[in-house]
Every structure is written in C-alpha cells, then in structure tokens.
Amino acid sequence: MNHYGAALLGRVRSTRPLIHHITNTVTINDCANATLAIGAAPVMAGAIEEVAEMAGIAGALVLNIGTLTPAQVDAMVAAGKAANAHGIPVILDPVGVGATTLRTESAERILNECRITILKGNAGEIGVLAGSGGTVRGVDSGGCTGDPIEVALRCSGRWNTAVAMTGETDIVCGNGEAYLILNGSPMMERLSGTGCMAASVVGAFAAAGDDPVKSAAAALIAFGLAGERAARQSAGPYSFRTALFDELASLTPETVSAEAQVEQYHGI
C-alpha cells in the first residue's frame, strides 16, 4: 500500500486532474486550496444549469452536503448522473447526516439516484448510513454504534460503494478488502474543514487511480501525513492550517512510501 500510495501521488502531480466540487460554502476556499496543494485542479461549480456539463469534463466529482439546500441537492443528483454516464468517480461527503431529517434524506437520495464511488464520512455519519446507528451533533461525530470496522463494512455492503471512515484510525473498505490508516494528528480535529479537505484529496486520488478502495486509502495516508508534519511546527489551529497546505504541497512520493502507517485488515 505504501508504494501504491507513493505512485498515485506522483500520478496526481503529473496528470493534474480536474476535480469538480459541489461543496460546503463554509470550507469551499480551503477545499480548492487543498486540491491545488496536492497537485490537482479544482473547480467549484454548483449551478444546476452547468453541473452536468462540468462533470462531463472532470476527473472526479466531490459532493459535500455541509451547507445543503434542496436546490443544491438537485444539482448534486444531476451532476452525479452525468459523472456516472462518463465513468467519472463520484465522492460523497455526507456532512452532518443523522443530525436532521433533511440531511439524512438528502444523502440517501444521492446514494439511491447516483452511483457513489467513495463514501467518505466520520464514524457517526457512516454509522447512520450503515443503518447501525450513529451520533452526530451538528456536523461533528459522536461515534457509531458497534465495532467501527464492522460498521464501515456494513455501510459498504449496503450502498455498494467504497467507504472511507475518518477518525483517530481511518478505515477504508470495499470489494472484499479493508485498510486501517494510523497517520494523522489530533490538531486536525481543532480546525474547521479538515474533513471537507480530506474529501477533496480523496477526489484527486480517485481521479488518478483505478481502484477506489486503494485510492481512498492512499489519499487519507497522504492527508494524514501532511497533518502530522504540519502539527510539528504549529503553535495552534491557525498556524496549523497554513502549515497543512504547505505540507500537502511539499509532500513527496518518497515520504509517503517511507512514513505511511497502514495495515491491511484480514478479518473480512
């Protein structure tokens, strides 16, 4: 996995895929900058009149319901269907699902009407969508009910998609395989938008890769490594934010290969 992640980072940098976002207005600028820093090209296009056309020329589509409206969800579905028609990976970040009926119904609508390639969420969100139960306060995770690995696997099976569950240990699973990723820093929880940025990095790696599970795992390794390295030089959340972008931009395939902390889970 270390070598795969290193090679995939190199491919992101060499191909610079266009990543189409319909995303959270709170973190939209950070998502764009994280996409640029990792080596891809962002476009933030949410008008329903253009989303299908934009999705058709992108390398991946990232959908984030953090500040959703019903009109935005209509645009997400239209973009998702266009991406499906063009064989483009679709990443869904179901921010805050379970907190309100609108969020839960919207996420389930997108999952039912579009083929989602990678579902990226925290433990509470993935627990809700797995049908196992999860706690979400606003957009923060309160955790899932049951063993997190089993919950992630159940969610993957329920929606027929790769699942990337973020947390102290990230869990990525699908297609009969699962990975546990230990890279990261507690500082990442003290800054708004790190989950949204992680989805953007997942989109970049999915666009450059051909295996959704390995691509999502490689993306979270890279993002976690950047967070680790940024935390070592930060005095607090906002200096961490600046350092995080710098570390994403300076991350090398050699660093990914040498410092990735990932284990394959064999209990499936």
Q: Which residues contact 222 (CB under 8 A, 6 or more apart)?
A: 5, 9, 38, 201, 205, 248, 251, 256
Q: 2-265: which CATH number, 3.40.50.2300, 3.40.50.300, 3.40.190.80, 3.40.1190.20? A: 3.40.1190.20
Instruction: State pLDDT tens for residues 182-220.
Output: 999 999 999 999 999 999 999 999 999 999 999 999 999
Instruction: Let me know if 49 is exposed, middle or buried by CB neighbors in 10 A (0-12, 13-18, 19+).
Output: exposed
Stretch 227-241: mean pLDDT, rounded? 96
pLDDT category of residue 113 using cuts at 50, 70 and 90 = very high
Q: H-helix or E-strand containing 121? A: strand 118-122
Instruction: Give CA 32 to chain center in angstroms.
Output: 13
pLDDT category of residue 132 using cuts at 50, 70 and 90 = confident
Structure tokens at 50: 């253009």
Q: In whole angstroms, what is the distance from residue 177 CA to residue 162 CA?
A: 10
Domain ranges of the chain: 2-265
Q: Rounded to 5 degrees, what angle do the CA atoms 114, 37, 189 make?
A: 75
* DSSP helix, strand, coil percent of the chain (3-state; round to 5): 50, 20, 30
Stretch 117-144: mean pLDDT, rounded? 77
Q: Please tell me the pTM assigned to this model.
A: 0.95
Stretch 145-156: mean pLDDT, rounded? 90
Structure tokens at 70: 């019903």
Q: Which of 116, 92, 91 is nearest to 205 (CA)?
A: 91
